[in-house]
């Protein structure tokens, strides 16, 4: 399969025709208003929209926090910058390759997953992805809620006297996220397009503040948190790189949810290639500046920007910083977590729940995860959460790429994508046993390595190794099958 030609200017769109729809309706199927392919004439996302999307995703509090948390565990500013940019850029490989499916077939990730794992087997990877979305939705809603609480506290001083003011702010911010996600892809597109330039301006304000309190770039880079090193960079490198990759790997896996709106393949591919590395470097630098600035201004390096905001007494600074946190959280949270999980739930349980109701379910599950406990310290945030996610996400991604690009060479029977009781993607009673066996065995083997001292490095590189191993195994077993 010639990958280069697959992203040519003359995009090959495969759409449902009358015969396909007739065939689908004669069988048990997953064709609904939520899963129906988007027609070519309704696709309006250009290169600019994908740059804006990645700006909204990456100019975010989680990336800021991961950059500053790398400083807190002993990396220098340039080591943290390299790890973050390298990790987020590597994720473009599956993001663009799996995004190709969305543009070509106008379909979402649950449809891709069903094609790969079978109509019954798909419940395993899709529910894993959905619950990860719920987890991250809760975490980011908590961070945004803290920022909202700071704004309200400045405007209404008596607010802080309420014993549950933090919980109320958290719930208000969560409801606002749900409201945007409830209105679907058009609302998300508008949010990203509006927020991108505002986020860049507000990020620049953080840099200017850090330059002021530190006395210039030399002052920032010479602070203890930015300039000191544990001299254990390579020991920290692989688990940190895996954590960086794991953050974007959730959105990379289901990026077809967004590329199904693309005008052509070049729009989504070029938009991602431009937006991701540049915006990653930018927000990482903002995180470095914010963390270093907090050390000089307050005598302590704060890795969580919501805690940093609480240190200021100037109401204007509190409001500006808090707006940055809120907007940066919204753009990532709605697109990557809320909407993606909602699409999955509304597809898997299409008989019982529609997309709009699924959005509410995601919000409830995010609350159950108790996110305030998950962001208690940088080690748990970077290694426990992201490291565990990577064990599962790597193999799932590798199998999806192998199936779409190697096994089927991107040539799929569009009607069979939606049929659930027969067809080319029904496999063995609805289960692709090969794919599921590889997923379970690869993930389990990597997890076991965590507890074997000589093999711990495999777990530390779980996403990359899991993706490569699962991709290779799936290719081998299907070549033998032929």
Domain boundaries, the chain: 45-377
| Residue found by looking up tokens 């100037």 in the block | 314
The CB-side HSE value for 429 (13 A sphere, CA atoms) comes to 1
User: What count of residues does the chain have?
Assistant: 482
Alpha-carbon distance of 162 to 237, in angstroms, equals: 44
Q: Is the predicted pLDDT of residue 304 greater than 80, yes or no?
A: no
Give the list of residues 6+ apart from residue 82 with CB closer than 8 angstroms, or none.
Answer: none
Q: Is the predicted pLDDT of residue 9 greater than 80, yes or no?
A: no
pLDDT (average), residues 436-463: 90
Alpha-carbon distance of 417 to 14, in angstroms, equals: 12
Region of poorest pLDDT, from 78-82, 101-105, 253-257, 335-339? 335-339
Residue pLDDT, tens place only, 17-71: 889 889 999 988 888 877 889 888 888 899 999 998 888 778 777 778 778 878 8
User: What integer pLDDT is reported at residue 375 of this predicted model?
Assistant: 67
Q: What is the mean pLDDT of the chain?
A: 85
Cβ-contact 140, 333 below 8 angstroms: yes
The DSSP code for 348 is H
If you count DSSP H runs as helices and E runs as strands, how many of each does the chain have, helices first? 25, 0
Angle at 357 between CA 352 and CA 360, to 5 degrees: 130
243 CB neighbour count, 10 Å cutoff? 27
Alpha-carbon distance of 256 to 268, in angstroms, equals: 10
The CB-side HSE value for 227 (13 A sphere, CA atoms) comes to 10
Helix (H) / strand (E) element for 185: namely helix 184-214
pTM, entire model: 0.83
Alpha-carbon distance of 110 to 141, in angstroms, equals: 25
Assign 419 to helix, strand or coil: strand
Structure confidence at residue 131 as a pLDDT band (50, 70, 90): confident
| Residue found by looking up tokens 């109509």 in the block | 119
Assign 398 to helix, strand or coil: helix
> Which tokens go with 34?
């939520």
Structure confidence at residue 116 as a pLDDT band (50, 70, 90): very high
| Residue found by looking up tokens 């850090």 in the block | 210
Residue pLDDT, tens place only, 101-115: 999 999 989 899 999
Assign 202 to helix, strand or coil: helix
User: What integer pLDDT is reported at residue 395 of this predicted model?
Assistant: 95
Structure confidence at residue 188 as a pLDDT band (50, 70, 90): confident
| Third-level CATH fold of 45-377 | Hydantoin permease (1.10.4160)
Alpha-carbon distance of 172 to 177, in angstroms, equals: 9
Q: b/e for 308-318, b at 16 or more Cβ within 10 A?
A: bbbebeeeeeb
Q: List, as one string, the DSSP characters of 269-300.
A: HHHHHHHHHHHHHHHHHHHHHHHHHHHHHHSS
Q: Is the predicted pLDDT of residue 399 greater than 90, yes or no?
A: yes
Q: Is the predicted pLDDT of residue 390 greater than 80, yes or no?
A: no
From the list 271, 286, 284, 348, the residue with the least C-alpha distance to 117 is 348
Alpha-carbon distance of 193 to 51, in angstroms, equals: 9
In the chain, the N- to C-terminal Cα span, in Å, equals 17
Alpha-carbon distance of 256 to 258, in angstroms, equals: 5
């Amino acid at each position: 399969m010639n990958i280069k030609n697959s992203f040519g200017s003359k995009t090959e769109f495969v759409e449902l025709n009358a015969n396909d729809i007739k065939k689908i309706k004669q069988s048990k199927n997953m064709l609904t208003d939520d899963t129906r392919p988007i027609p070519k004439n309704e696709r309006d996302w250009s290169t600019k929209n994908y740059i804006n999307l990645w700006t909204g995703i990456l100019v975010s509090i989680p990336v800021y926090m991961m950059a500053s948390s790398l400083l807190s565990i002993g990396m220098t500013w340039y080591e943290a910058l390299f790890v973050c940019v390298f990790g987020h850029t590597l994720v473009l490989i599956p993001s663009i390759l799996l995004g190709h499916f969305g543009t070509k077939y106008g379909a979402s990730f649950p449809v891709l997953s069903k094609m790969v794992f079978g109509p019954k087997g798909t419940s395993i990877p899709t529910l894993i992805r959905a619950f990860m979305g719920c987890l991250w939705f809760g975490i980011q809603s908590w961070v945004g809620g803290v920022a909202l609480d700071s704004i309200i506290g400045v405007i209404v001083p008596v607010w802080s006297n309420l014993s549950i003011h933090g919980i109320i702010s958290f719930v208000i911010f969560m409801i606002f996220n749900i409201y945007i996600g409830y209105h679907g892809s058009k609302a998300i597109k508008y949010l990203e397009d509006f927020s991108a330039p505002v986020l860049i301006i507000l990020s620049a304000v953080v840099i200017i503040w850090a330059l002021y309190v530190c006395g210039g770039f030399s002052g920032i880079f010479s602070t203890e948190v930015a300039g000191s090193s544990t001299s254990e960079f390579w020991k920290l490198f692989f688990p940190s790189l895996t954590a960086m990759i794991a953050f974007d790997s959730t959105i990379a896996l289901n990026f077809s949810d967004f590329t199904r709106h693309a005008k052509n393949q070049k729009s989504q591919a070029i938009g991602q290639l431009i937006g991701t590395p540049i915006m990653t470097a930018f927000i990482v630098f903002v995180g470095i500046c914010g963390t270093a600035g907090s050390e000089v201004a307050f005598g302590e390096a704060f890795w969580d920007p919501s805690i940093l905001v609480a240190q200021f007494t100037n109401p204007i600074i509190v409001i500006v910083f808090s707006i940055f946190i809120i907007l940066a959280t919204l753009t990532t949270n709605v697109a990557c977590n809320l909407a993606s999980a909602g699409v999955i739930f509304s597809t898997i349980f299409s008989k019982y729940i529609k997309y709009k109701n699924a959005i509410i379910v995601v919000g409830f599950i995010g609350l159950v995860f108790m996110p305030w406990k998950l962001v208690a310290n940088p080690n748990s945030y970077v290694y426990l959460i992201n490291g565990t996610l990577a064990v599962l996400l790597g193999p799932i991604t590798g199998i999806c790429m192998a199936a779409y690009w190697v096994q089927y060479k991107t040539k799929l029977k569009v009607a069979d994508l939606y049929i659930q009781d027969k067809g080319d993607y029904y496999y063995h009673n609805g289960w692709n046993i090969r794919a599921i066996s590889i997923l379970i065995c690869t993930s389990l083997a990597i997890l076991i390595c965590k507890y074997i001292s000589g093999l711990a490095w495999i777990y530390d590189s779980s996403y990359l190794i899991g993706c490569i191993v699962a991709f290779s195994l799936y290719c081998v077993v299907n070549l033998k099958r032929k």
